[in-house]
Amino acid sequence: MKAGLLFAAGIATAAAHPRRHQHPAKRQATEVDVVTVVDTVTALEPSVIVYVDGNGQAVSKSFYGAPATTPTDAPSSVAPSSYAEPTTESSSEAPPPAYSSSDSTPAPAPSFAPSSAPAPTSSSALSGDFSGYTLSYSPYNSDQSCKSQDQVNTDFNVISGYGMIRIYGTDCGQTATVLTAAKAKGMKLFAGVYDVNNVDAEVQLIINAANGDWSDFDTVAIGNEGVNDGRYSVGQVVSAIGTARSMLQAAGYSGKVVTVDTFVAMIANPQLCQASDYAAANCHAFFDGGVTAEDAGQFVLNQAQRVSEACGGKDTMITETGWPSDGETNGQAVPSPENQVAAVHSIRTAFSSNIVLFSAFNDKWKQNTASTFGAEQYWGIYGDAP
């Protein structure tokens, strides 16, 4: 998960700290390797963004002009997106431009029917009806080992009640284990391909897990934030979507196929949503730095509207959004249990559907870093896994 690359308008020098997904490497029988990527993005002046790697070496530069206009209508209903392993080569296409919250104008009242979420008056924002929402879930223990079917089932005893569960890859046999647990709770599956460069093999694992029955699959996502990170070019992702769609359709799947990226990358590269069955964008108000927890829902709605407009009015889903319960303060964004409750409540007030809450449990298998404000492990709205 990560936010768009954000800095306040009118400030000549600023540093943005996009969140970096971490994902356990492909697992062998007795050995687990972890690849952690920490990049830094530095805005040198209001119209120039220089992207640097973890060693401070510039890898690319992009320019941006006037901000996009906020559409007058909220995106229409959609259904619901995955991980990609980092590479050492930068994309052949320029990364998306930076975006500032000051670029957006106040959005009109959402066309989504607001949910009946209760006021956040306790340590939990989890009462009420969650059947219209999707929840992201990762089946890893804190030592990065794979969770067993029994462990996944135990987790789902806590998180049942959602309409759908989003996963990010095929390692750990997770398509099958999560599908089994979700199906038992009456929830659909939002499956994912981890490595766009290995799309054939990963899609085949999804096909194997389905075993001819696609009734509990809603969406298959090909890649997650790969263009925003510079791991893949737009062309690579679009090609992978085509490959995946052909394989899935040949196996009897008639559901949705998308790629997921940040709202910034989606706006800058509408080819991503044009190749997808709907626009799937991640958006985290926490990383803007100028948004409080109480205003998280309106911020995310504004960006959903911008994505929909950039994609020609295409159906749009926010495929990650949430708030950390711990970590370091980022401007007006303060991580705390109380603010996590407030943010989830705000998001639920702005959206009654078309949203993926991030994440089910604290991801203790990840590594906290300064670039993620020490909050990488603390996005679980249900706290630690049972």
Residues carrying an active site annotation = 320
Furthest-apart CA pair in the chain: how many Å? 56
Residues paired with residue 333 on neighbouring β-strands, in sequence order: 330
Residues 193/222, Cβ–Cβ less than 8 Å: yes
Q: Which of 86, 81, 82 is nearest to 34 (CA)?
A: 86
Fill in the amino acid letter for 299. F
CB-CB contact of 103 with 9 (8 Å): yes
Strand, helix or coil for residue 226: helix
Polymer length in residues for the chain? 386
Find all residues with CB under 8 Å of 239, minimum gap 6, and list them.
none
Q: Which amino acid is at 243?
A: T
d(CA 192, CA 67): 31
List the one residue out of 133, 175, 137 whose CA is nearest residue 157. 137
